[in-house]
Amino acid sequence: MYTSFWSHLSKRKAGIGIILSNSFLSRFGFKANWIEVVPGRVCVLRLRGHCGSLDLAVCYLDASSSSERIDACSKLTRFLEPASEVLTMVFGDFNFVEHEVDRIDKASGKW
């Protein structure tokens, strides 16, 4: 069996989720707190229990607005706990690259 957590921006735009096995969740006593940092874009699943503390951050950053991506990342940092207290994993679709050569234009074949 599985448990899922979801956040939607609208019926047609953005949305994120995570699906975890109940056997995994049982390691944390099924104590899960789903926090919508930016609805449909950034959420944090907080797990606390006898196996420790784990935060899973799920992101789907705006592909068309760098200012929206920066704002979402900034908001996420406010929800991150110290590494000495919690193991945090951040994953998703960030819709940006650090270097121009990290993305190729499929139509032109150029960087």
Task: Say whether pLDDT at 2 is over 80.
Answer: yes
H or E segment to which residue 4 belongs: strand 2-8
Burial (0-12, 13-18, 19+ Cβ within 10 Å), 35: middle
pLDDT digits (tens, 9 = 90+) for 81-109: 999 999 999 999 998 888 878 777 778 87
Question: 7-49, pLDDT tens digit by residue?
Answer: 998 777 779 999 999 999 999 986 799 999 999 999 999 999 9
Helix runs in 4-111, H state only: 22-26, 66-77
CB 52 within 8 A of CB 75: no
Q: What is the pTM of this model?
A: 0.85
Instruction: Give CA separation, 90 vs 57, 63, 77, 104, 108, in Å.
Output: 5, 18, 11, 24, 32
pLDDT band at 77 (very low <50, low <70, confident <90, very high): very high
